[in-house]
Copies of this chain bind each other. A is one copy, B any other.
Amino acid sequence: MADPSSEKPTTTQREKLEAKESAILAAAHREFAEMGFDGAKMAAIARRASVAEGTIYLYYRNKAELLERVVARFWSALTEGALAAIPEQSPAIEQLMALARYHLTEVVNDFDFIGFTSQVRQKKPRDDRSLDPIRRYVRVFDAIYRRGVDRGEFSANTECRHWRDLFYGQLEYAARTMVLRNSNDTDSVMAHLEHVLRAGLAQPRLADSPQQTHEEDLGQLLAAMKRDLERLEQAIQPKTST
C-alpha cells in the first residue's frame, strides 16, 4: 500500500496470487508425499499453506486436479533440473551418467513422492494428458540415447526402450534400497551403472566421434580383450588336449 513502487499494483497482485498458488502446491506436494493420495487431507494442505480450506478450491477444482498439478509441476521441475545437469558437449555416456546421478539424487530426496506418482499412474486412463510431464522427463533419456547413437557411441537404436527401462528401473530400485536402509552409496550405484552401460551399450568404435578420442579407452579395451582371449584359450586347451 505505502509501497512507492505501487505503480504496478497489478504485478504485486499477480505476484501475490502466484505466491499463494505456489504455497498451495508446495504444501500439497509434501502432504501427498507423506500421506499418499487418500491419506492426504485437504484441511492439512490448507493448514500447511497457511490458507483457508475453501481457498484451495479457488485454484483447483478438486483434490484430483490439485494432485495433477502437483505432479506436473514436480516432473517439469525435474526435467528442467535434468537438462541443466547434463553437460552439453560431453559424450553421451557421460551425459547419461550425469542424468543418472541427478535422477538418483532427486529420487532419493523425494522418494515418497516418486513412489506415490507411480501409484497415481495406474489409475489414469491410457491417454491422459496429465501424464505428459512424466513422458517429457522420460524423453530426456531418449534424447541422449539417440545422440549417442548418432555420434556412434552407442550401437543399436532398436534397444532404446530397453536401455531406458534398465536405466530408470535400476535407479529407482537403487533409490528404494538406499531409502529403506537409510544409507547412501550413490557412487557405488553410479559405478555399477556405468560399468553396465559401457559393457553393454557403448560402442568401442570411437573413430568418428567428433570431439574427444580417448586413446586410453582403446588401449584398455584391447588389453581387456586380450586377457579374456587368453583365459578362453586356456579354458579350451586343457579340454582339447584331454
Chain A 105-144 interface residues, beta-carbon cutoff 8 Å to B: 111-112, 115-116, 118-119, 122-123, 126
Stretch in A24-32, A82-90, A233-241 with 4+ CB within 8 Å of B: A233-241
Q: How far is the CA of A199 from the CA of B148 in the complex (A)?
A: 19
Q: How far is the CA of A115 from the CA of B239 in the complex (A)?
A: 48
Please give, as numbers and ranges, the residues of chain B lying within 8 Å of A218 by CB-CB distance. 232, 235-236
Check B200 against A177 for contact (C-beta < 8 Å): no
Q: How far is the CA of A180 from the CA of B162 in the complex (A)?
A: 15
27 contacts between A and B (CB under 8 A): A36-B119, A111-B122, A115-B119, A115-B122, A126-B180, A162-B192, A162-B193, A165-B189, A166-B166, A166-B173, A166-B192, A166-B196, A170-B170, A172-B173, A199-B200, A200-B200, A203-B231, A204-B228, A204-B231, A204-B232, A205-B231, A205-B235, A206-B235, A207-B238, A218-B236, A221-B232, A225-B225
Give 15 A-B pairs besides A118-B118, A126-B182, A205-B234 with Cβ atoms closer than 8 angstroms: A37-B38, A38-B39, A126-B180, A159-B192, A166-B166, A166-B173, A168-B169, A170-B170, A172-B173, A200-B200, A205-B235, A206-B235, A207-B231, A207-B235, A225-B229
Check A36 against B188 for contact (C-beta < 8 Å): no
Copies in the complex: 4
A: which residues have CB within 8 A of B?
Answer: 36-39, 111-112, 115-116, 118-119, 122-123, 126, 159, 161-166, 168-174, 176-177, 180, 182, 188-189, 192-193, 195-196, 199-200, 203-207, 213, 218, 221-222, 225, 228-229, 231-232, 234-236, 238-239
Q: How far is the CA of A188 from the CA of B204 in the complex (A)?
A: 23
Residue from A39, A159, A188, A204 with most neighbouring chain B CB atoms (10 Å): A204
Task: Look across to chain B and name the residue whose beta carbon is closest to the beta carbon of A206.
Answer: B235
